[in-house]
Chain A
């Protein structure tokens, strides 16, 4: 009877196989290297930690190999700022026109505002994932614009006591 490998080892092997599959085709030799290196780690828990890191590396390589990842980064850098400014415009519209000021509960304008703010979270996550962290200084400006626009939008709600 063949002894079954420990659970941690089986998980590590599965993750390494997944990491190898996720690497771009031009990294085929690296995929094989990653998968085989795990077999040389004696400790099962260490092998699992190693495998998890390899999955992270392979996802990163896959994203970096994409031509459109820079475009995705630029778009996701701008989008949160635009969304915050739209949220600000929503607030100003309510204030200027008096639309839904009489409502006791949240109306359409409030829901639009909330969607524009909360909807930034996945966009910001995309921005962080696709950012080139080796040139972190270049990230300061888009982040500053995002923060400033968000502060304006949220601050307007507080200022007008909506």
Chain B
């Protein structure tokens, strides 16, 4: 059984939020709104995840002219696998209950 990684509650919240739409690019302020993390907490986490290869980023051209390109983030394939590796044990009992209920 893989050892559960030691990550903070804030990092866990961010990873779970990004995993809900794993292929979509997210912006910093949007992630802050979704997770409740302030920028002072969010950006260090994003930097760490990027350093570890779990997060990728790119510059997106603005939808409306007159604004600068904006940084966007999403989980890499390694990042998605990482989140699923510790998210699935918690989800497994719920899946078993749903299966048991369906068979009744």
Interface positions of A (Cβ within 8 A of B): 27, 29-30, 32-34, 36-37, 39-41, 49-57, 60-61, 134
Q: Which 5 A-B pairs have the closest CB atoms?
A: A53-B39, A33-B71, A53-B40, A56-B40, A57-B43
Interface positions of B (Cβ within 8 A of A): 6, 8, 27-29, 32, 38-44, 46-47, 57, 67-71
Q: Which B residues touch A49, using CB under 8 A? A: 38
Q: Which A residues touch B32, using CB under 8 A? A: 50
- Determine chain A's interface SS by DSSP, over half rule: helix
**20 extra A-B contacts, CB within 8 A, seeds A33-B70, A40-B67, A60-B44:** A29-B57, A30-B43, A30-B46, A33-B28, A34-B39, A36-B68, A37-B70, A40-B70, A41-B29, A49-B38, A51-B39, A53-B39, A53-B41, A53-B42, A54-B39, A54-B40, A55-B40, A60-B40, A61-B47, A134-B6
What distance in Å separates the Cβ of B9 from its nearest Cβ neighbour in chain A? Answer: 11
Q: Which B residues touch A57, using CB under 8 A? A: 39-44
Q: Which B residues touch A50, using CB under 8 A? A: 29, 32, 38-39
Q: Do A40 and B27 touch across chains, with their CB atoms under 8 A apart?
A: yes
Given known A50-B29, A50-B39, A53-B39, contact A36–B71 (CB-CB < 8 A): yes
Given known A33-B57, A36-B71, A61-B44, contact A53–B28 (CB-CB < 8 A): no
Q: Which A residues touch B8, using CB under 8 A? A: 134
